[in-house]
Amino acid sequence: MPEPHDPTAALAALAADQSRRPVLLALDFDGTLAPLQDDPAASRILPDGVGVLADLAATDGIVLALVSGRAMADLHALAEVPVGTLLVGSHGAERARVTAHGLDRDVVRLTDDQADRLAALGAEAAAVARGREGVWVETKPTAVVVHTRLADPEVAQAAEQESLALGERLGTGVLHGKAVVELTVLHASKGEALTALRQEIGAPVVIYAGDDVTDERAFEALGPDDVTIKVGAGDTGARYRIDSPEGVVTALARFRDDLAAAAG
Ligand SMILES: O=P(O)(O)OC[C@H]1O[C@H](O[C@H]2O[C@H](CO)[C@@H](O)[C@H](O)[C@H]2O)[C@H](O)[C@@H](O)[C@@H]1O
């Protein structure tokens, strides 16, 4: 796999090529638009990103989407994205569109079996966290998440191993992200969600940027003419790399300016 490189030239070429429209601009949230935090409730999109995304969403031929592991309500509360933005939450299990009056969202329905397993996962995940300093459990509509960012490394590792085993036993899916193990009762993948969005929009080209291992599923779902951007260090199937969320906002601002220049 070639080493990912700077996406500036690819984004400039795409901005200049008006035959490749609409562009689906799909972005992960945590670690991509919002710097990682110890407390997920403290995450915020970088201030400069708010205006840049609003400008891009208002540009002809650009469709903006956020594709996140966050629960939908959480994502909507934190993301500060404009009306019309498409939101994918819970790694694809939740879908919505931002309107002037709130979210137009699909209802997530769990079967009785799934609801029972979600409750059991929550109880057992709480048992994993109990007595382990810095380990805690987040609940979502279709998953529970064991967080280990605040724990000592050996404590975190033990909690993550137990959580992975728990997911194998009771979950439908297990996602091992950055200092999180997500145990889901619905099958969900950012790759499938992105493919569905692209088909609905009829987008010949997709830009996707993400920082975590779960974003690799999105990169895999895209083709050589799409623009796949890994944010930060680490192995990746993405073609391009940007070092930080600040770098993502800078690249998006340049893309916005190039689109405006191309439109004359
Ligand atoms: O797909 P994303 O938008 O990147 O969301 C993935 C998970 O994000 C949150 O956890 C991550 O960010 C936290 C805040 O910076 C950080 O404390 C944690 O260690 C990260 O894994 C969120 O809490 C999860 O539910 C999301 O699935």
Residue nearest to atom 20 of ligand 1 (CA): 178
The stretch 83-89 carries a mean pLDDT of: 98
3-state SS, residue 72: helix
- pLDDT-derived band at 71, boundaries 50, 70, 90: very high
What's the pLDDT tens digit per position in 187-226?
A: 999 999 999 999 999 999 999 999 999 999 999 999 999 9
φ, ψ (nearest 5 deg) of residue 69: -80, -15
pLDDT value of residue 202: 98
Does the pLDDT value for residue 93 go beyond 80?
A: yes
Ligand 1: list residues with CB < 6 Å: 28-31, 36-38, 40, 43, 68-70, 138, 145, 147, 149, 177-180, 182, 212
**Is residue 66 within 8 Å of residue 76, measured between CB atoms?**
no
- pLDDT-derived band at 143, boundaries 50, 70, 90: very high
3-state SS, residue 28: coil
Does the pLDDT value for residue 101 go beyond 80?
A: yes
What's the pLDDT tens digit per position in 151-162?
A: 999 999 999 999
Residue nearest to atom 21 of ligand 1 (CA): 178
Residue found under tokens 């009771």? 170
pLDDT value of residue 264: 84
What sections of the chain are H helices per DSSP? 8-16, 47-57, 72-79, 112-129, 153-170, 190-201, 216-221, 245-263
Nearest to 155 by CA among 135, 180, 182: 135
Position in ligand 1 atom list of the atom nearest CA 71: 25
- Between the CA of residue 51 and those of 74, 82, 102, 239, 252, what are the distances in Å? 20, 9, 19, 27, 11
Nearest to 38 by CA among 143, 142, 171, 136: 136
State the complex-level ipTM: 0.98
Residue 41 CA to ligand 1 center (angstroms) comes to: 10
pLDDT value of residue 240: 98
Mean pLDDT over the full length of the chain: 96
What's the pLDDT tens digit per position in 18-60?
A: 999 999 999 999 999 999 999 999 999 999 999 999 999 999 9
pLDDT value of residue 2: 76
Residue 70 CA to ligand 1 center (angstroms) comes to: 7
Asked whether the CA dihedral 155, 160, 163, 165 is positive or negative, the reply is: negative
- At 181, which helix (H) or strand (E)? strand 180-184
Residue 40 CA to ligand 1 center (angstroms) comes to: 6
Residue 4 CA to ligand 1 center (angstroms) comes to: 24
pTM (predicted TM-score): 0.97
Residue 124 CA to ligand 1 center (angstroms) comes to: 21
pLDDT value of residue 130: 98
Residue found under tokens 């137990």? 162
Position in ligand 1 atom list of the atom nearest CA 31: 4
| Complete domains list, the chain, with CATH | 8-108+189-263 (3.40.50.1000), 112-184 (3.30.70)
What the block records as the tokens of 217 is 């599923």
Share of the chain above pLDDT 70, in %: 100
* Bond into 4 cis (ω within 30): no
- pLDDT-derived band at 184, boundaries 50, 70, 90: very high
pLDDT value of residue 171: 80
The pick from 28, 30, 184 for probing ligand 1's pocket by mutation, whose C-beta has the most ligand atoms within 8 angstroms, reads: 30
